[in-house]
Amino acid sequence: MSFLNTVHLNSVHYTEWMTPEYNSTRHDREGVARAALALLDEVGLADLSMRRIAGRLDVQPSALYWHFSSKQELLADLADRITASIPRADADVPTVARSIRDALFTHRDGAELVLSTYALGLGSATAQAALEDALRRSGAADPAQRAVALLHFILGHATLVQQRMHADSHGAMENGGTLDVTAGLDRVFDLGIRALADSGEPLSAAPTLRRDRA
Amino acid sequence: MSFLNTVHLNSVHYTEWMTPEYNSTRHDREGVARAALALLDEVGLADLSMRRIAGRLDVQPSALYWHFSSKQELLADLADRITASIPRADADVPTVARSIRDALFTHRDGAELVLSTYALGLGSATAQAALEDALRRSGAADPAQRAVALLHFILGHATLVQQRMHADSHGAMENGGTLDVTAGLDRVFDLGIRALADSGEPLSAAPTLRRDRA
DNA sequence: ACCTGAACACCGTTCAAGT
DNA sequence: ACCTGAACACCGTTCAAGT
């Protein structure tokens, strides 16, 4: 009976009279990706299955394979959407680094997703380029390699922090002093970024004070 | 018929006469973990299923749950074995960092495994402690936080490099200049480690030459 | 102490066929 | 252009029961 109902709703002869307002259940690549990203925030990467995404769209699992050739391709698309949200500003290295981290934090398990996807692809080339530009402007040595090192640190750090956040939230917090664990990790991030941003020999002998603002 | 045969082989009445040399098919926690670690090297983390591990041990999947309460616990055990192989030497920071990275590289997907497992646990506390000790000996500022930053960098970097290695090996190498990609990443690692090992303001106004030993 | 057998509630993916 | 239905070859986990 329930399936009869469904059949009836869907059998709206797909012909000329089917105007946009009658179209409800059919999706495009964009719609699938957006639904998947929303679902990611609700259930997390481990529980983001093709079947669940399909269920959210009121569609059979096999329908997703018209839009994406595999789950891997879908995940790569999501990773690209996350890294694409990095603002492209003429900021200094710590600011760019923080904006990359914040983009990863925008979605649940975002860091892990981008990390898993990064190796295969040109995804997060955006992030790498932004870091390299900022480094070049600051006059740092070896800006290209330094950008890669910064990106690896940001991805590793963000992945670990995001995991820890999720574990602490509905997990076993057996440690009494876990209150400031995130605050401590924030200082670790700043320390790491600053160390990777400027070090080494060349340019300006004065170490501490660059930056002429105020 | 095949299952009859199996039944016959296993029904060696479990009593006193069952001396060690007759015992063949029964396992302990250690044996399961070793088999799983060996299988990890063959098939990789994505294909390391409980059912495959059981198959390797000629045992039903459910048998594994006598030794480990979940797959997660088994994986955590493997991660601990990998980090436990880090040599405990009085070496300088780059040397310690490299030995941690090499321990992660000892097994296929070792970095990813440890990274996934690290958040939950005290695993890789070994690595963190080793780094902190080395930093303290070097007189670096904020050794505790710096150790965490170094560990995050090492885990992120090693995970990315290991993924890339595997992708390049039997994957689509569409890039012409991928030959020196690993060499380049090795230089990135050294740069990152050195930057994180020494930087910052305090101690000795002269930036480059510390080192009072010898 | 360690394992089997059977079941439960899931997976990703393919493909002919429908509209 | 987009989807269904059905199938294939898998998953992790539980639990009574066996030896």
Give a yes or no: residue B206 inside a domain.
no
Predicted model pTM: 0.84
Say yes or no for a CB contact (<8 Å) between B192 and A149.
yes
Out of B157, B164, B191, the one facing A146 most closely (by C-beta) is B191
**Per-residue pLDDT band at A209 (split at 50, 70, 90):** very low
Select the more confidently predicted residue: B10 or B178.
B178
Residue pLDDT, tens place only, B16-49? 323 333 345 799 999 999 999 999 999 999 999 9
Do A15 and A107 lie in one domain? The reply is no
For residues A151 and A21, give the distance between their C-alpha atoms in angstroms, rounded to a whole number: 45
A49 beta carbon to strand C: under 7 Å:
yes
Say yes or no for a CB contact (<8 Å) between B208 and A195.
no
Do B94 and B139 lie in one domain? The reply is yes
- Domain span at B163: 83-197
Whole-number distance in Å between B3 CA and D19 C1':
16
Compute, in degrees rounded to 10, the torsion defined by CA atoms A141, A116, B154, A126: 10
DSSP secondary structure string, B143-203?
Answer: HHHHHHHHHHHHHHHHHHHHHHHHHHHHS----TT-TTHHHHHHHHHHHHHHHHHS-SS-S
Cβ–Cβ < 8 Å for B77, B53: no
Cβ–Cβ < 8 Å for A195, A150: no
Whole-number distance in Å between A48 CA and C18 C1':
29
Residue lying closest to nucleotide C2, CA to C1': B26
Out of B120, B146, B187, the one facing A145 most closely (by C-beta) is B187
Give a yes or no: residue A180 inside a domain.
yes
Do A104 and A172 lie in one domain? The reply is yes
Whole-number distance in Å between A102 CA and D19 C1':
58
A56 beta carbon to strand C: under 7 Å:
no
Residue lying closest to nucleotide C19, CA to C1': A14
**Model pLDDT, residue A200:** 59
Do B115 and B191 lie in one domain? The reply is yes
Mean pLDDT of chain B: 82
CATH number of domain containing A144: 1.10.357.10
Which one of B68, B97, B121 terminates a domain? B68
Task: Evaluate if residue A22 carries a pLDDT over 90.
Answer: no
The stretches of A11-124 forming alpha helices (DSSP H) are 29-43, 50-56, 64-67, 71-84, 93-105, 110-118
